[in-house]
Structure 1
């Protein structure tokens, strides 16, 4: 009998990191029956990723609502998954990382009796309020899951410290590197065309060094974003040979300070959020990346791009230890100081850009599939 897999995700970052796993399982239809369920905790951004990776969901819960909250979203995911789990009866359910979809799906899968597998397991900041609610989401999922696919030895150690059985843990590297390799090959192939990337080419000043900025974290709303914007403004004014490109998140708490403080500055371009392939292309063109994203901390080093992380804590300490990222928080002076070093000193820049990425070699999904075959 075939092993029945159900892969569940709901946000754009999850889709990017789970897409290569979906494709790897679908290579072996003799051994596996693999289906995809999306909660659509995000909608438009999620659909863009599915189209790019050529994945059609088998189940679409379509749960995104205006101004949705964590209470209703959690309840809707758990109750909405019940008939899907009862219909398909999966042997294994795969969840990813730390979203509300991850946490709620792991609970529902546990109720159904399926074995629950956690991709990108074991990340911890040990502060349940930072990031919120992600730290609790991944901890809850970790306590439920039967198998834990940890990206690094640090992640494995965190799980062992929580009394997780070592036999249930596999160090894989991060699936985002698998996705990045696939995506880089695709966007740079001669037969690939993308109108969004073509528009970006018209915006990018190839005579300047590009600083790519992304930001959306709840904990940075308010004074944090005001400090971030103030730092970016100073960097733009001090460095005529730099162009800052900022795809601005749609959240009003982000849009308001960004457009109030950074609009109409010649070498700052505020643009709409980018699709994943356009973002991969822009990362590859960048000199430096300033972000509060988790995934970018893993992706950018594979492209040789130094990263300044606008967070006080990170569940990815491997990157800090390896030197591929620097934590700057939302302190204006620290953001400016660390960015200016990388702008001014080519030696510091070259050392950081050539460091080894601690998140793997792009074979994480292959390792996961082989593990499941041997369980």
Structure 2
């Protein structure tokens, strides 16, 4: 009898990172029967991603309501997940990351005594306010988790420091690299209207959406982008703007009239990968982009004060710059000048976050967990990340 696995998705990053995991489990029908549940936390963006991977949720819980507070969102998701788990009683519930969906789904499973598997376990900023509420969410989920699928050795070390039993930790690599490799042979040209505007110009790709950046932080990021473009006549900035009204209003007010700044609605994932691939520089507060950009050798300026993904920074592939406009402008200028050794290092290809085999490791570790085998992965099966020397 196959083990029953429920995989829960709510947001675009969860869908990107879990799509290859879903495919890997479904490649083993004798061992696993998989259901995909969507809470619809970011429904439109979630649908875009699932379409890109030719996936559909088996159940859409439709718990999201416009204007919901974090508490309301958590309560609604917890209630819906409790009913779903009580009805189907999976052998294992899989969640990914640190969203409200992840916290509520894990808590519902814990209440029903269903084991929780946490993909991308062990990320820590050690600051409950940054990122908010993600740092709290992932710490709480770790307490409720059975098998911890840590993306890197440093994430596993964080779990060990919190007294998580080592036999319940598997270092798998990050599944976002698996997702990128899925699209490797599909990276055609950008849409013609964007491609035509890029002719003879270098592109800066901008993303900004985190809750802790709302207000002055987002204003500062937009002012910095405006100055960078003004200072570099051969540079164009492309900014796929998050659907949140606060982000939309700020971006339009500051950047909406500049002829070398392109504000886009949220773009399908494959289009976003194309943008990353062609970028000269990326400014982002996104955790996922920090993990993806090294695969393309694109320098990243992280517009946050702390990052739980220190591997790229430690390898010299990314730099923490916060949201102070002058700091961002100066760092971008150094990279765009292409003269410093640091700038050359940031353009190395080679990804310290994964090797494209994370999903297969998760499937193997999950099977061992459910059949009582330990360790979940042996030393030579686990992912070992390194900094590229090329």
**SS in structure 1 at match of 2:301:** strand
Gaps of 5+ in 1: 189-193
Q: Are 2:308 and 1:336 aligned?
A: no
What's 2:21 paired with? Answer: 21
What's 1:67 paired with? Answer: 67
What's 2:236 paired with? Answer: 243
**SS in structure 2 at match of 1:312:** coil
Asked if structure 2 preserves the Cα contact closer than 8 Å seen for 1:324 and 1:357, the reply is no
1:235-314 residue pairs with structure 2 within 5 A? 235-314=228-307
Q: Are 2:353 and 1:359 aligned?
A: yes
**SS in structure 2 at match of 1:33:** strand
Q: Deviations over 1:144-177 (max 9, x none)?
A: 0001000111100110010000000000110111
Asked if structure 2 preserves the Cα contact closer than 8 Å seen for 1:121 and 1:151, the reply is yes
| Cα deviation, residue 355, structure 1 | 5.3
**SS in structure 1 at match of 2:191:** helix
Distance 1:243 1:343 in 2: 12
| Cα deviation, residue 256, structure 1 | 2.2
| Cα deviation, residue 349, structure 1 | 2.9
Give the RMSD, CA atoms, in angstroms: 1.5
Distance 1:215 1:349 in 2: 23
Q: Are 2:166 and 1:172 aligned?
A: no
**SS in structure 1 at match of 2:63:** coil
Distance 1:203 1:223 in 2: 33
Change in Cα spacing, 1:52 to 1:356, as seen in structure 2 (3 Å) is closer
Distance 2:236 2:42 in 1: 30
Q: Which deviates further from its counterpart, 99-108 or 350-359?
A: 350-359
**SS in structure 1 at match of 2:4:** strand
Gaps of 5+ in 2: 370-390
| Cα deviation, residue 52, structure 1 | 1.0
1:57-136 residue pairs with structure 2 within 5 A? 57-136=57-136
| Cα deviation, residue 356, structure 1 | 3.5
Match of 1:217 among 189, 210, 222: 210
| Cα deviation, residue 232, structure 1 | 1.1
Relative to the length of structure 2, the TM-score reads 0.91
**SS in structure 2 at match of 1:129:** coil
Asked if structure 2 preserves the Cα contact closer than 8 Å seen for 1:37 and 1:58, the reply is yes
Distance 1:50 1:168 in 2: 30
Distance 2:244 2:194 in 1: 26
| Cα deviation, residue 259, structure 1 | 1.6
**SS in structure 2 at match of 1:7:** strand
Asked if structure 1 preserves the Cα contact closer than 8 Å seen for 2:147 and 2:366, the reply is no
What's 2:308 paired with? Answer: 315
What's 2:4 paired with? Answer: 4
Relative to the length of structure 1, the TM-score reads 0.95
Match of 2:343 among 321, 341, 349: 349
Q: Are 2:28 and 1:33 aligned?
A: no
Match of 1:370 among 351, 355, 364: 364
User: Runs of 4+ in structure 1 displaced over 6 angstroms?
Assistant: none
Q: Are 2:138 and 1:138 aligned?
A: yes
Distance 2:248 2:3 in 1: 46
What's 2:160 paired with? Answer: 160
Distance 1:204 1:166 in 2: 52
